[in-house]
């Protein structure tokens, strides 16, 4: 159940203090601060400039590079408008590719360094050239697009190039994509021992389980009558692979030199028109960053069987006899290479297909980069409209030179120029980033309640300060748009176990919209998980301004069935509000699904929902609600009234290690007739008699018969 509502403002604003999460505890992120409306301050004049870097190869009629040119010898126009060249730098690379022989120690022994992955390539300042007279080659291993044998061939080819074919002018970087994010395992370096060490530490088989499954006549017969169509998963995986390439290209865009990205993959197949937008975005990013793609098909020379090889079962359908299955196998293979060919052709690279010596593809990329000039200018067109801008470079007519250069680029876009596809891609890119985006403040609380002996219901509550959201007039009504996207990953394998993607349009009355500046917005949802360790990453975006906030935390769902020393209990929920379900402003779950999720959510009782307090800040004018569940996994269901002893529970407040308040102990009979022996524990505590300040709230649950107990404690803040 996902509800989004406007809740009354209580005490301090979100994002301050400690965020308490019961079993386990987590802490809120300080994710940004806005300037209050109407505040007096100094005016700031901002000027936006965009540096455009253009590598240009200048050769004479015989194909030899022309040297000694200056900025005065070149003329650059952008969409027919002359531009002022700010700097001109000549990069002189050796014409003959002579490999530096490896020393005996480098051939025999590899010193293993401790590797720490990075999220960025070290940049260079505007107008400067960091790697002068150096050739930049980036080895990119898409582990999700290669089975284990192909991964071994790709790593062996990279090792062969570094050992025997790398020249003194080469600088090599190593990227890896394993399904989570793009990692820079090694920045550009000429230290071959260090590079080989990185290759040695790459794990063969990493990123598997995300390969595509065909949905045509070549599909293996698994014996099942019906199954879920896998095409939607293929679309998502392909978009992520292309988006990861886009991220790598943007990283390389921090450098002004020409860059070649050698992309190792076992094909990359588009799914109809569904991935075209992401493909164009990837190519556009590479062109803007001055990166050329050099894809290498890690499968090498393939002799495909008409009905598939031994890695899959027989199709077992009519296509076996009509030829449709054999044609589908050949078509799928061809289409997987077509995408690689398009990536290379559109960015100035060249793809290597059907060749077993994969290092030849790296050598082709190496030899393609010869001496060239780097020209830089600040474009006179500063409009961020995302349109293509055509570039024309010329030299003095007396030189009679042949030029090779990028003939244009796509300008950047501001958020209000984004299309629907651009907005979706922005969210997916933000979800893949390792570094959080801190433009919006987000606070979250995660709880868990046992559904049966194996599964747990995990309600998640997200709060955003209303003052950080923008309102817009649309159709005469006030509204605010919020996009939510998130995923939960298993910490053991890094596999995404569940995700969420919602778009919320909140319509507000005039009175409610006026109060939005002092009220937080709440969004909640729920998942069913197994015991284990997880990582949640959640993003919210204001769809009017494009501002994004990220929340990321680790949490644990314990296996309460194995708890023997203490009384097994759920999370403890602290709240000061119970609201009617009909008061929700947004409900993403409708009909039977909504009724089903409400039925399993223990926070919904008698048509009212308990709203967890994320910040643990409570007003003295309201009562404090405490809710948790206790479980008895050893009890056996019996006929008739319960015969077991009740549980005893009470709540205690401590201040400076002294007890200042304690509720009367309550006795709650256990429901042994239920399939899961769940005992709900409810407390309503008036706070009016307690002075404001910080307290330690402790919940104690005792089992007199089993001589066991359970204790939970968290900090709270009382405000007038």
**Predicted confidence (pLDDT) per residue in 225-276, tens digit:** 332 233 333 456 777 788 889 889 989 988 888 999 999 998 887 766 667 7
Mean pLDDT of 305-330: 63
In terms of Cα–Cα distance, which of 655, 654, 653, 651 is closest to 664? 651
Residue 459 in 3-state DSSP? strand
CA–CA separation, 443 and 464 (whole Å): 7
pLDDT at 178: 82
Mean pLDDT of 480-498: 84
pLDDT at 410: 82
pLDDT at 227: 28
The region of weakest confidence among 156-160, 472-476, 510-514 is 472-476
pLDDT at 305: 65
Mean pLDDT of 530-558: 89
* Contact indicator for 712, 572 with CB cutoff of 8 Å: yes
| pLDDT beyond 80 at 596 | no
Share of the chain above pLDDT 70, in %: 72
Mean pLDDT of 527-545: 89
In terms of Cα–Cα distance, which of 56, 647, 87 is closest to 371? 56
* Contact indicator for 231, 239 with CB cutoff of 8 Å: no
> Where is 282: in which H helix or E strand?
helix 276-289
Q: How far is CA 456 from CA 73, 451, 492, 592, 600, in A?
A: 71, 5, 18, 21, 10
pLDDT at 226: 30
- Total number of residues shown for the chain: 720
pLDDT at 698: 93
Cite the beta strand spans of 290-433 per DSSP E: 291-297, 372-378, 388-395, 402-405, 408-410
Angle of helix 276-289 versus helix 231-252 axis, rounded to 10: 10
Mean pLDDT of 360-384: 90
pLDDT at 399: 81
Residue 139: alpha-carbon gap to chain centroid: 22
pTM passes above 0.75: no
Write a three-state SS string for 146-204.
CCHHHHHHHHHHHHHHHHHHCCCCEEEEEEEECCCCEEEEEEEECCHHHHHHHHHHCCC
Paired tokens of 708: 């066991």
In terms of Cα–Cα distance, which of 577, 601, 575 is closest to 589? 601
| pLDDT beyond 50 at 16 | no
Mean pLDDT of 570-584: 78
Mean pLDDT of 580-606: 59
pLDDT at 175: 93
Instruction: Enumerate the β-bridge partners of residue 390.
Output: 408
Cis-peptide into 24, omega within 30 deg:
yes
Domain locations in the chain? 3-31+436-719, 51-92+375-410, 104-214+230-370
Mean pLDDT of 116-140: 78
pLDDT band for 473, please (50, 70, 90 cuts).
low
In terms of Cα–Cα distance, which of 502, 485, 457 is closest to 597? 457
CA–CA separation, 193 and 113 (whole Å): 9
Largest CA distance in the chain: 106
Express each pLDDT in 139-189 by its tens digit: 999 988 888 889 999 999 999 999 999 998 999 999 998 866 788 999 999
The winner for highest mean pLDDT among 37-51, 605-619, 681-695 is 681-695
pLDDT band for 12, please (50, 70, 90 cuts).
very low
Backbone angles phi, psi at 243, to 5 degrees: -65, -35
pLDDT at 597: 59
In terms of Cα–Cα distance, which of 483, 477, 472, 571 is closest to 521? 483
Name which residue leads in pLDDT, 586 or 675.
675
pLDDT at 162: 93
Mean pLDDT of 285-289: 89
| pLDDT beyond 80 at 218 | no
CA–CA separation, 682 and 16 (whole Å): 28
Share of the chain above pLDDT 90, in %: 21
Paired tokens of 300: 């090498």
Instruction: Could you please state the CATH topology (level 3) that the domain comprising 104-214+230-370 is classified under.
Output: Rossmann fold (3.40.50)
pLDDT band for 8, please (50, 70, 90 cuts).
very low
The single residue listed with the structure tokens 């930049």 is 136
In terms of Cα–Cα distance, which of 437, 718, 615 is closest to 13? 615
In terms of Cα–Cα distance, which of 52, 237, 195 is closest to 126? 52
Mean pLDDT of 73-89: 92
CA–CA separation, 488 and 16 (whole Å): 25
| pLDDT beyond 60 at 638 | no
Residue 715 exposure: Cα atoms within 13 Å on the Cβ side? 12
To the nearest 5 percent, what fractions of the chain are helix, strand and coil? 20, 35, 45
Write a three-state SS string for 224-267.
CCCCCCCHHHHHHHHHHHHHHHHHHHHHHCCCCCCEEEEEEECC
pLDDT at 583: 55
């Amino acid at each position: 159940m996902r509800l989004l509502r406007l809740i009354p403002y209580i005490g301090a604003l979100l994002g301050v203090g400690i965020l308490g999460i019961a079993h386990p505890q987590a802490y809120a992120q300080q994710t940004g601060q806005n300037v209050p409306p109407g505040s007096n301050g100094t005016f700031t004049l901002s000027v936006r400039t965009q540096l455009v870097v253009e590598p240009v190869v200048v050769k004479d009629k015989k194909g030899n590079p022309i040297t000694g040119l200056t900025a005065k010898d070149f003329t650059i126009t952008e969409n027919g408008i002359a531009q002022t060249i700010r700097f001109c730098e000549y990069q002189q690379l050796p014409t003959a590719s002579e490999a530096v022989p490896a020393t005996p120690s480098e051939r025999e022994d590899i010193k293993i360094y401790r590797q720490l992955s990075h999220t960025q390539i070290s940049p260079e300042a505007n107008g400067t050239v960091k790697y002068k007279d150096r050739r930049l080659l980036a080895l990119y291993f898409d582990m999700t697009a290669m089975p284990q044998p192909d991964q071994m061939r790709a790593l062996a080819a990279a090792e062969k190039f570094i050992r025997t074919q790398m020249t003194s002018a080469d600088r090599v970087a190593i990227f890896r994509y394993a399904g989570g994010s793009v990692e820079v395992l090694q920045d550009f370096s000429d230290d071959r021992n260090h590079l080989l060490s990185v290759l040695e530490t790459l794990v063969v088989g990493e990123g598997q389980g995300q390969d595509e499954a065909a949905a045509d006549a070549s599909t293996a017969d698994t014996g099942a009558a019906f199954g879920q169509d896998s095409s939607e998963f293929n679309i998502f995986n392909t978009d992520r692979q292309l988006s990861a390439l886009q991220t790598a290209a943007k990283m390389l865009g921090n450098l002004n030199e020409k860059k070649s990205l050698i992309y190792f993959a076992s094909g990359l197949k588009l799914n109809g028109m569904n991935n075209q937008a992401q493909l164009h975005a990837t190519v556009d990013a590479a062109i803007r960053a001055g990166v050329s793609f050099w894809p290498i098909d890690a499968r090498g020379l393939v002799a495909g069987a008409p009905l598939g090889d031994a890695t899959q079962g027989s199709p077992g359908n009519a296509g076996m006899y009509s030829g449709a299955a054999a044609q589908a196998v050949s078509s799928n293979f061809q289409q997987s290479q077509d995408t690689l060919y398009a990536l290379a052709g559109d960015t100035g690279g060249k793809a290597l297909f059907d060749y077993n010596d994969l290092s030849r593809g790296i050598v082709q990329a190496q030899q393609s980069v010869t001496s060239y000039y780097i020209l830089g200018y600040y474009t006179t067109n500063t409009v961020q409209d995302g349109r293509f801008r055509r570039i024309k470079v010329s030299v003095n007519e007396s030189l009679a030179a042949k030029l090779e250069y990028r003939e244009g680029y796509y300008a950047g876009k501001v958020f209000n120029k984004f299309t629907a596809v651009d907005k979706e891609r922005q969210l997916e890119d933000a979800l893949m980033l390792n570094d959080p985006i801190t433009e919006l403040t987000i606070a979250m609380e995660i709880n868990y309640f046992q559904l049966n002996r194996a599964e747990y219901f995990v309600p998640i509550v997200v709060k955003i300060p209303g003052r950080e959201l923008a309102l817009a007039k649309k159709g005469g009504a006030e509204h605010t748009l919020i996009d939510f996207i998130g995923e939960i990953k298993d910490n053991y394998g890094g596999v995404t176990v569940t995700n969420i993607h919602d778009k919320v349009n909140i319509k507000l009355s005039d009175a409610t919209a006026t109060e939005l500046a002092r009220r937080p917005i709440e969004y909640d949802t729920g998942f069913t998980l197994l015991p284990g360790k997880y990582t949640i990453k959640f993003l919210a975006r204001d769809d009017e301004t494009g501002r994004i906030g990220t929340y990321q935390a680790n949490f644990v769902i314990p296996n309460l069935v194995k708890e023997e020393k203490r009384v097994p209990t759920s999370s403890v929920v602290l709240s000061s509000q119970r609201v009617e379900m009909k008061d929700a402003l947004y409900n993403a779950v409708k009909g039977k699904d909504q009724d089903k999720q409400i039925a399993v959510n223990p926070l919904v009782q008698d048509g009212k929902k308990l709203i967890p307090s994320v910040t643990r800040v409570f007003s003295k004018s309201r009562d404090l609600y405490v809710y948790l569940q206790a479980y008895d996994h050893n009890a056996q269901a019996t006929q008739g009234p319960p015969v077991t002893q009740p549980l005893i529970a009470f709540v205690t407040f401590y201040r400076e290690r002294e007890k200042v308040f304690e509720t009367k102990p309550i006795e709650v009979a256990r429901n042994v007739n239920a399939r899961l022996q769940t005992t709900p524990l409810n407390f309503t505590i008036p706070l009016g008699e307690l002075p404001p300040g910080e307290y330690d709230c402790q919940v104690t649950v005792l089992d007199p018969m089993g001589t066991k107990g359970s204790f939970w404690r968290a900090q709270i803040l009382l405000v007038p």
